[in-house]
Amino acid sequence: MLEVTGVRVALSELDGTDKHERSACKRALAKRLRVGADELAGVERRRRSIDARKRGSVHLTFTLRAGLVGGKAHERDLLGRLARAKADRGVSLVDEDEKAFDFPAPVARAVATRPVVVGAGCAGLFCALSLARAGLAPLLVERGDDAARRAEVVGQHNRTGALDVESNIQFGVGGAGTFSDGKLQTGTRSPAHRLILETFVDAGAPCEILWDAKPHIGSDVLPRVVDDLVRQIEAAGGEVRCRCRMVDLDVSGGRLRAVTLAQEDAGGCVREERVETDCAVLACGHSARDVFELLRDRRVALERKTFAMGVRIEHSQAAIDRALWGPAAGSPVLGAAPYKLSCHLDSGRSAFSFCMCPGGYVVSAASEVGGVCTNGMSLFGRDGANANAGLLANVFPTDLPGDDPLAGIELQRRCERAAFAAGGGAYVAPAQLVGDFLQGVASSAAGRVEPTYPRGVSWGAVDGCLPDYVSNTLRAAIPQMAHHLRGFDAADAVLTGVETRSSSPARVTRGEDGQSVATAGLWPVGEGAGYAGGIMSAATDGILCAEKIVESLAR
């Protein structure tokens, strides 16, 4: 099979439909290979990206695979002809039978206790699925609800302000990623990525995530995808319990002996159960602050790490489209434009955009009573009026007082409580116009950009909700970012506070074998443990953890 990179397709050859795109790709590939379209067999899209380096000539670029009618001999002959004509750049032969990365193989022998996986975010789901397929019958516990019930609870919070501290945007099957667009773009590289994407597609995600350079599933599609992943875990022999959380660990002799689980029934009654196990995967996410406190109390090794805080920034999506796509803005082929910005200041501080949601919405991401925090989400269609992103500045371990490894969590809490107070209660969020923020004055009303935060906003200033070094870094960075994205410093863009949960402020220290350095049998994984930064890297970490567990049993 031939693989060809850099195949260019003009926007004028596309109409936004998949059928039209497949036809255009086949024509472009035939032209590139100097063959007739009827000589190509099985054209497959492996990657699709938007090239907008020249705003007057925006186009799509593909990596395509195809066979030739006549088989491998013809493919080798064609590659030789292209090489002699010096037209073989980006063209190569690939092995159709190349061994793909797969889930761990089944364990050959019986084990004394089954693994317990704590947390059903991406790391926990993929770890539990891997362990189940290996025949280890894992128990996956999640403190929040299943996806359908969770969506109801989130909707109720948005309407009334009532907050369920066990089931919300942070807690529940699918983790925080379920309600933050389901972005699958990652800066990491792993052979597991293709397997993860294929697993999502098998669970009901759109097939274009297999080739889109910036894939996403959408928060309207993700709930049924994670529901299907749960069904797969159960079909493979695993057990999944919702409204069930870990409340204690039995650690002695440097080894895990058991976990204590608290299960809430339909009537709200809680029953505790001690589960004997020598293998617990800690995939609780970085908002499970009570779990971090438990780990500290049980002397599980923890350490501080750099994290980030800031605000959500909202612009008109049409303005972002024009800034990035130029005359092509509004094309159904391109959709809503995303951006990614960063800025390194002379002070040594940095600011960056995070979890950018084209055509999306700012959401209430609170999980503790009396604290406001924000996040962003998009639906699959990304057809909202606004673009939003986290606008964050780094917080370094040296910024924090004392030696408590959880000092960063306490800083997050203080900022969230300050935002709750600034909003006036009921999870209303403080907001400020960018122009006013840059001038250091409070805002009194919206401009042309209407904030999308569902609980409403209270106009004023966001500075008092954040440490000075964060506010000052953002104030210095916005004008510099505007040099790379025209209009980013628009006076009527909206800042909504605060964004505090972008990453974990603490790491559960693990060794090269994947286990806690202080507690054998405890396997920290994912974002909460400090070893991932998004859906793909968290899912990868979950699979690799399962591999290590299987390997340890084999030994």
pLDDT tens digit string along 301-329?
999 999 999 999 999 999 999 999 999 99
* pLDDT confidence bin for 70, thresholds 50/70/90: confident
pLDDT of residue 181: 86
pLDDT of residue 99: 61
pLDDT of residue 433: 98
**243-256 tens-digit pLDDT:** 999 999 999 999 99
Q: Is the pLDDT of residue 107 over 90?
A: no
- CA-based torsion, 44, 46, 50, 53: positive or negative: negative
Number of Cβ within 10 Å of residue 84's Cβ equals 9
Query: In terms of pLDDT, which residue wins out, 419 or 107?
Result: 419
Distance in angstroms (rounded) separating the CA atoms of residues 246 and 301: 18
pLDDT of residue 154: 96
Instruction: State yes or no: cis peptide before 498, omega within 30 of 0.
Output: yes
Tokens 């998009």 appear where? 378
Q: Is the pLDDT of residue 474 over 80?
A: yes
Q: Span 418-441, mean pLDDT? A: 98
pLDDT of residue 98: 60
The most distant pair of C-alpha atoms in the chain lies apart, rounded to whole Å, by: 76
- DSSP 3-state of 493: coil
DSSP 395: E
* pLDDT confidence bin for 267, thresholds 50/70/90: confident
C-alpha separations of 166 from 169, 267, 367, 428 in Å: 10, 15, 8, 20
Q: Is the pLDDT of residue 356 over 90?
A: yes
pLDDT of residue 108: 77
Q: Is the pLDDT of residue 205 over 90?
A: yes
Q: Is the pLDDT of residue 139 over 90?
A: yes
Mean pLDDT of the chain: 95
Residues forming beta bridges with residue 534, ordered by sequence position: none
- Residues of the chain above pLDDT 70, percent: 99
**150-191 tens-digit pLDDT:** 999 999 999 999 999 999 999 999 999 888 888 998 888 899
* pLDDT confidence bin for 506, thresholds 50/70/90: very high
* pLDDT confidence bin for 110, thresholds 50/70/90: confident
pLDDT of residue 473: 98
pLDDT of residue 265: 85
Whether residue 377 contacts residue 363, with contact meaning beta carbons closer than 8 Å, is answered with yes
Distance in angstroms (rounded) separating the CA atoms of residues 99 and 82: 28
Return the beta strands (E) in 11-110 as ranges.
40-51, 59-68, 91-93
Whether residue 363 contacts residue 356, with contact meaning beta carbons closer than 8 Å, is answered with no
| Domains defined along the chain, listed by start | 2-93 (3.30.70.2700), 116-303+506-554 (3.50.50.60), 306-499 (no CATH)
The amino acid at residue 239 is E
Distance in angstroms (rounded) separating the CA atoms of residues 74 and 190: 32
pLDDT of residue 188: 83
Q: Span 402-412, mean pLDDT? A: 97
Kindly report which listed range (56-60, 181-185, 474-478) carries the lowest average pLDDT score: 181-185
Distance in angstroms (rounded) separating the CA atoms of residues 159 and 179: 16
Q: Is the pLDDT of residue 370 over 80?
A: yes
